Amino acid sequence: MKTPGLLLILVAIGGRYTLDRAGLLELAWVDLRVIGLIVALVFLSLSMTGRRVAGFHKREGWLLAALLFFVYQISSALWAPPAARVGPQVLDLVLLIVLLLAFYVYAMNDPENVVRFTFQLLFVTAIVYALAAIFISGPGEQGRYSAFGGGPNVFARIEVLGVISAVGLFMLTGRKLPLLVIPLFLLATVLSGSRGTLVAGGAVAGVALLKLRRKVSATAVAATGAVAVLTVGVIWALAPPEFTSLFQERFVEQTVQEQYLSGRTDIWLAALRMFADYPIEGSGLDGFYGLIGVNQAVEYPHNYLLAVAAEGGLAGLGLMTASILLWTRVVRGGGFRPQLTGLAVAATVFVALSSLFSGDYYDSRLAWMFAAMAAAAALVPVSAAGTPKPLEMAR
């Protein structure tokens, strides 16, 4: 049953991959996301044949609220400004809905294996991306690294998810080998120059250490500190020459000395002003670009929360908040699989925090996917034999 999961995860990781990125300019209209999801749904349907499919549960209100939120966003295209790119945005949201529902159904029927397989695949993906960025793609125009034609920020998210996957595989299997690859992931993350991703990753790591402080011995803390120092030393010693110049320019000079944030503060203030102008229903789907970005060459607000506020108003914010709060109730405490749920929650929170610094609506897809995985791990009971026991249909 790994085939549908493999396809769904590849679609989520691949992003907006059209064939022009592979050099086939005449086939730029071919969106591989659509093809990938169709094939994934076919395999998912075949894999469910003859199986008892888990029914809906009364604690799945978070999913209903999320779907209403996406439908509201699509509906807001009706009052979007003329310059808004409604077509591509609607397609993104429809594909996001399909991806979320398909992955949730997939995870609900075998959450334990799905969580393990997902982190295994992300671990391998992060290695491939890091090696491709360092040895094949190299630095871009700004000196920042990425892989396979994607942006540096998305690349950095995959690398930090690689770190979470390495830790998760260690927790689930007891094998220390995955931990040895973490320096490569951290090196690639720094080479991406994504400051927001580093902040989000650091925040998740800090909270995780805080929660585990009573379960970790002084010896383990000392060992972790020694490994951290060794990791920094290895990164500094083995990093390419561009590493020191990128670190000095982007993280020391621009961030610390000049306090340069790539114009984010101006963009965020513009989104806040738009929210003040359209407080209830918002300016409509892609309204930020249609009213501001089209004249200032800014694609989107680079902050998921502010984008929802500016384009969806209080109505959009209310639906999104309801989904988050209901989901928090489901995963709080870990449910039937605290360890697996906790790993999925950590990945969800990391991507969500990263979305406060960069990315548009579709770039949040991994956060929604991990949220579905965490809810499935928390909700589906485990029988005495250790096999998943599907939920009964709620009355």
Q: How far is CA 157 from CA 291, 347, 379, in A?
A: 29, 10, 27
Tokens of 268: 């965020």
Per-residue pLDDT of the chain (395 residues; tens, 9 = 90+): 688 889 999 999 988 776 666 666 676 677 888 999 999 999 998 887 756 555 555 678 999 999 999 999 999 999 999 999 999 999 999 999 999 999 999 999 889 999 999 999 999 999 999 999 988 888 877 778 888 878 888 999 999 999 999 999 998 988 889 988 998 898 889 888 888 898 999 899 888 878 776 665 566 556 666 666 676 676 666 666 666 665 556 554 455 444 445 568 889 999 999 999 999 999 999 999 999 988 887 888 999 999 999 999 999 999 999 999 999 999 998 888 999 999 999 999 999 999 998 889 999 999 999 999 999 999 988 753 344 454 443 33
Q: How far is CA 57 from CA 41, 68, 322, 368, in A?
A: 22, 17, 17, 18
- Cβ burial of 210 (10 Å; 0-12, 13-18, 19+) is exposed
φ, ψ of residue 45 to 5 degrees: the values are: -65, -40
Count of residues in the chain: 395
Q: How many CB atoms lie within 10 A of CB 112?
A: 19
Q: How many CB atoms lie within 10 A of CB 32?
A: 17
Nearest-5° Cα angle at 187, 185 to 189: 70
Nearest-angstrom CA–CA distance, 97 and 66: 9
Q: How many CB atoms lie within 10 A of CB 259?
A: 8
3-state secondary structure of 382: strand
pLDDT at residue number 118:
95
Q: Which helix (H) or strand (E) holds 272?
A: helix 264-277
Domain ranges across the chain: 1-49, 60-379
pLDDT at residue number 158:
95
pLDDT at residue number 53:
54
Q: How many CB atoms lie within 10 A of CB 333?
A: 10
Nearest-angstrom CA–CA distance, 90 and 85: 9
3-state secondary structure of 145: strand
φ, ψ of residue 259 to 5 degrees: the values are: 55, 45
pLDDT at residue number 242:
62
Query: Across the chain, which distance is largest between two alpha carbons, in Å?
Result: 63
Nearest-angstrom CA–CA distance, 170 and 106: 24
pLDDT at residue number 309:
97
Q: Which residues of 141-180 are buried (b: 16+ CB within 10 A; e: fewer)?
A: eeebbbbbebbbbbbbbbbbbbbbbbbbbeebeeeeebee
Nearest-angstrom CA–CA distance, 57 and 69: 20
Q: How far is CA 198 from CA 2, 91, 160, 194, in A?
A: 31, 30, 8, 7
pLDDT at residue number 142:
74
Q: Is the dihedral of CA 292, 297, 299, 305 positive or negative?
A: negative
Residue 388 DSSP one-character state: B
Q: Which residues of 35-46 are buried (b: 16+ CB within 10 A; e: fewer)?
A: ebbeebbebbee
Q: Which residues pair with 82 in a beta bridge?
A: none
Radius of gyration of the chain (CA): 21
pLDDT at residue number 192:
87
First and final CA of the chain: distance in angstroms? 29
3-state secondary structure of 139: strand
pLDDT at residue number 231:
66
pLDDT at residue number 148:
84
pLDDT at residue number 294:
86
pLDDT at residue number 392:
40
pLDDT at residue number 261:
54
Nearest-angstrom CA–CA distance, 113 and 118: 8
Amino acid at 222: A
Residue 249 DSSP one-character state: I
